[in-house]
Structure 1
Amino acid sequence: MRVAVCQLNSRDDRAHNLAVARDLLERAAAGGAEFAVLPEYVDFLGRAADAPKPEPVDGEFAAFFSTAARELGLWVHAGSFHETGPDAERTYNTSLLFGPDGERAATYRKIHLYDVEIVGRVSYQESRIVAPGETTVVADVGGVPTGLSICYDLRFPELYRQLAIAGARILVVPAAFMLHTGRDHWEVLLRARAIENQCYVLAAGQIGDHEPGRTCFGRSMIVDPWGTVIAQAADTVGVTFADLDLERLETIRTEVPSLANRRLINGS
């Protein structure tokens, strides 16, 4: 399977963000990709007060990427967007997956919310404006079981283990990883999730500056089940390709059967 991760610099102009995303998907399709992944909050990254009205999963955002998937004959993971939430104060941070027929194949709502206090760097409480999802999702992408996650989920290995146990061979991580944590943690965590779950990891990130005073790390990458980075984006908006060798994945799982050798400890 040939795959592509698309790296964006989404800002506060929703129409422009979607136009760039469409262009990158066209480049992915032209490069022979069967599956393309966009980053977290492809619709909008800016001041909360300027955010567009959140939408349902069958709204304009979904229609835009459904059309793109159908017209390009491509599996499209539309990163994430601001979905209408459970109450007036909170949205969901939601990923939508579309098949080449344009049909929505899966919906995933971010489970782990970015509530952090890094002195002198970041003070952010995602849970103030976003409601957590509650359900893990493994979807069939062209016959390959694919586990879904979003950004901060990456720090919670138990989520990815559940996805692997449920059959995932690919793990998808759309993200807007911040610069100061990304340069030390991003690649390490992605490679760890690939190694411990013996899966390919497709990680599409936001890159560059965003209002208000936020800089994302970028370095979108594709990691194989051995933990080797087989493709990595430059520090710019663009598309990065790799060919997934699913036979090699099964060989790794046979030769180093860590998933099969897993033992329950104290009932967990």
Structure 2
Amino acid sequence: MSDTPKSFRVGLVQMCAGRMVDRNIAAATELIRAAARGGAQYVQTPEMTNILELDRERLLAAIKPEVDDPGVTQFRFLARELGIWLHVGSLALVGERGRPVNRSLLISPEGRIDARYDKIHMFDVDLPGGESYRESASYEPGHEAVVAALPWGQLGMTICYDLRFPHLHRALAKAGARFLAVPAAFTKPTGLAHWHTLLRARAIENQCYVFAAGQGGCHENGRETFGHSLVISPWGEVLAEADVQPAVTFADVELQRLEDVRRQVPSLRHDRPFDVVYAADTPPNEVAS
């Protein structure tokens, strides 16, 4: 008789992080404990769990290398104490080359960091209404896509703006991911327009469960984020959704459901190579009637 788990419980931690690292860590800790009390075996926090800061000088003064970061220490302790897989959606850290990085950490129930992912795609945009963001001015982008092992299957790790790049998620699915993680701090305008649509699309086209913990509400730095943390099935169904306020959102993930979807519509096996060509102008002797 197989001892492979047939399901597991996900807990998504939604926050409204501010500028004070210690307060954010304390708020995250309380919600992670609540997720564990609710039976979650995999707990995910949002992007920028430790600080949400747009001012580069204040950011640099507040963050530390991973080895010295108090949040990393606390979250490793929590994962071990609670016996959970703790996916810290992202932390602002000083990277190995001295520049800030937007880094996601997957921590095992033993308190071991099993995977690291540095956000690849930087949020450099000018939004309607005058909002402007230049993430690349503060953070060094990552260069490696990451698939990590969970007891229930492989997890593809992404962060926020990565959601808009479907080829990244396809590559993760083709590399064996059964779950796609999209911890985020989506702005309210982009969230209203695109959050649900993009997350459902990534789930459907890659036939993966999608777990997306978000920041939500009005932050100290003046930014407003969308919230609405979501768990999406491989068929595109919304299994669980938060509102805007800090909270934990739970969903039970059925592994057979994923296998059924992939068997019914085996599109992951149907990719074909192709070339892109530029069509020539219609020859002069081919005149439309």
Q: TM-score normalised by the shorter chain: which range applies?
A: over 0.9
Tell me how far apart the structure 1 counterparts of residues 20 and 64 of structure 2 sit (CA, whole Å): 16
Contact kept, 8 Å, 2:19 with 2:221, in 1: the verdict is no
- Structure 1 residue matching 2:115: 3-state secondary structure: strand
Structure 1 regions of 5+ residues with no counterpart?
A: none
The size of the alignment, in residue pairs, is: 266
Partner of residue 169, structure 2: 160
- Alignment counterpart, residue 30 of structure 2, candidates 18, 23, 26: 23
Contact kept, 8 Å, 1:10 with 1:206, in 2: the verdict is yes
Contact kept, 8 Å, 1:170 with 1:199, in 2: the verdict is yes
Tell me how far apart the structure 2 counterparts of residues 119 and 186 of structure 1 sit (CA, whole Å): 16
Tell me how far apart the structure 1 counterparts of residues 92 and 71 of structure 2 sit (CA, whole Å): 9
The verdict on how the C-alpha distance between 1:243 and 1:252 changes in structure 2, with shifts beyond 3 A counting, is same
Partner of residue 36, structure 1: 43
Percent sequence identity is 47
Partner of residue 228, structure 1: 237
* Structure 1 position 219 matched with structure 2 position 219: no
Matches within 5 A, 1:182-193: 182-193=191-202
Q: Letter of the aligned partner of 2:12 in structure 1?
A: V
Q: Letter of the aligned partner of 1:191 in structure 2?
A: R
* Structure 1 position 68 matched with structure 2 position 78: yes
Tell me how far apart the structure 2 counterparts of residues 15 and 53 of structure 1 sit (CA, whole Å): 10
Q: Letter of the aligned partner of 2:260 in structure 1?
A: T
Q: Letter of the aligned partner of 2:153 in structure 1?
A: V
Tell me how far apart the structure 2 counterparts of residues 170 and 121 of structure 1 sit (CA, whole Å): 35
Shift, 1:57, TM fit: 2.7
Contact kept, 8 Å, 1:55 with 1:61, in 2: the verdict is no
- Alignment counterpart, residue 50 of structure 1, candidates 54, 58, 81: 58
1:146-172 per-position Cα deviation (integer Å, ceiling 9, x unaligned): 000000000000000010001000000
- Return 118-127 or 48-57, whichever deviates more: 48-57
Give every structure 1 segment of 4 or more consecutive aligned residues whose post-TM-superposition deviation is greater than 6 Å. Answer: none
1:193-245 per-position Cα deviation (integer Å, ceiling 9, x unaligned): 00000000000000111133210000001000000001001221100000111
Partner of residue 84, structure 1: 94
**What do you get for the CA RMSD once the two structures are aligned?**
1.4
For the pair shown, the structure with the greater C-alpha radius of gyration is 2
